Amino acid sequence: MPEVESFLYWSKESFGKKPVVSVTHVSIMPGKGRDGLPAMLVAGKQVFATHYMNTSLNLTAVLTGKAGSHNYLTLLTWTEVDLLGGYFGWLKRTLIERRVKDETQKIILGLRQRLEH
C-alpha cells in the first residue's frame, strides 16, 4: 500500500465584497498508474471558511494511458455556497458560473505546466 501524504493549507481568495479565508485538508496518494488505476490521486476537503462557502470537495487524478498514448488529468470539484439565494440569486449564480468557467481553464493549464516539468 503506498504511503499517503496529508497536510492542511490555508488560502485567501476574493469572491465578493470581502475576501474568503479557508482551510483545506489535502491527501495525496501515489498509485501504480497501470491496470486502470491512477498514477496519482489527490483529495481535498474544505474544513473551514470565513463566509460564502459551506463546504467544498476536490478530487484530482492523473490517469496514464497505454505506452505511447496520452495521459489525462481529471478534476472533480463540488462546492456548496450560501450566497446564491434571495431576489438577485439568479444574477449572482450567472456571474459566479461565468467566473468559475474562466478560472477553471487557467487552473488546469497551470497544473498541466507544473506536471509536465
Q: Read off φ and ψ for residue 30, nearest 5 degrees.
A: -70, 145
Mean pLDDT score of the chain: 82
Query: Between 74 and 100, where is the model more confident?
Result: 74
Residue 96 has pLDDT above 90, yes or no: no
The overall pTM is greater than 0.85:
no
DSSP 70: -
86: left (phi over 0), alpha (psi -120 to 50) or beta: left
Spatial separation of the C-alpha atoms in residues 31 and 23, rounded to whole Å = 26
Over residues 48-60, the pLDDT tens digits come to 988 777 788 999 9
pLDDT for the residue numbered 107: 79
Q: Which band of pLDDT confidence, cut at 50, 70 and 90, is reported for residue 65? A: confident
pLDDT 10s digits, 8-47:
999 988 766 788 888 999 999 988 776 667 888 999 999 9
